[in-house]
Amino acid sequence: MAALAFVDIFVPNPSPLHSVDPRIKMISAALLTVVCFFLSDPIVLIALLLFLQVLTISTGVTLKVYGSSVWLVLRFTILLLLIWPIFDRAGDPVIIDLWLYKPTVPAMTRALTVALRIFVIASGWLILMLTTNHSKLVRGFVKLGCPYDFGISLSIALRYIPNFLATFAQIKEAQASRGLETSRGNLVGRARNMVPVLVPAFAIAFRAIDGLSEALVSRAYGAKETRTYYRDIGMRYWDVAILVSVVAVASIFMAAQFGWLPLR
**pLDDT per residue as tens digits for the range 138-157:** 888 888 888 878 877 877 87
Nearest-angstrom CA–CA distance, 107 and 89:
6
- pTM equals 0.76
The answer to whether the CB of 29 falls within 8 A of the CB of 99 is no
CA distances from 221 to 79, 149, 213, 237 (A): 45, 10, 10, 34
Q: pLDDT tens, 166-221?
A: 888 889 888 888 888 777 777 777 888 888 888 988 899 889 888 888 888 887 77
Helix (H, G, I), strand (E, B) or coil at 144: coil
The helix or strand, by DSSP H or E, that contains position 31, with its residue range, turns out to be helix 22-36
Per-residue pLDDT band at 7 (split at 50, 70, 90):
low
Q: pLDDT tens, 78-116?
A: 999 999 988 888 878 888 877 778 889 888 999 999 999
Q: pLDDT tens, 17-65?
A: 888 999 999 999 999 999 998 888 888 899 889 989 998 888 888 888 8
Helix (H, G, I), strand (E, B) or coil at 50: helix
Helix (H, G, I), strand (E, B) or coil at 98: strand
Could you tell me if residue 102 is left (phi over 0), alpha (psi between -120 and 50 degrees) or otherwise beta?
beta
pLDDT at position 257 over 90: no
Nearest-angstrom CA–CA distance, 156 and 138:
10
The answer to whether the CB of 254 falls within 8 A of the CB of 35 is yes
Nearest-angstrom CA–CA distance, 42 and 44:
5
The answer to whether the CB of 70 falls within 8 A of the CB of 143 is no
The answer to whether the CB of 164 falls within 8 A of the CB of 205 is yes
Per-residue pLDDT band at 1 (split at 50, 70, 90):
very low
For residue 27, give the nearest of 255, 245, 257 by alpha carbon.
Answer: 245
End-to-end CA separation in angstroms for the chain:
42
**HSE of 12, CA atoms in CB hemisphere, 13 A:** 3
Nearest-angstrom CA–CA distance, 84 and 41:
18
Nearest-angstrom CA–CA distance, 25 and 38:
20
- pLDDT, residue 2, reads 43
pLDDT at position 73 over 60: yes
Nearest-angstrom CA–CA distance, 137 and 149:
14
What average pLDDT is seen over the chain?
83
Nearest-angstrom CA–CA distance, 148 and 138:
8
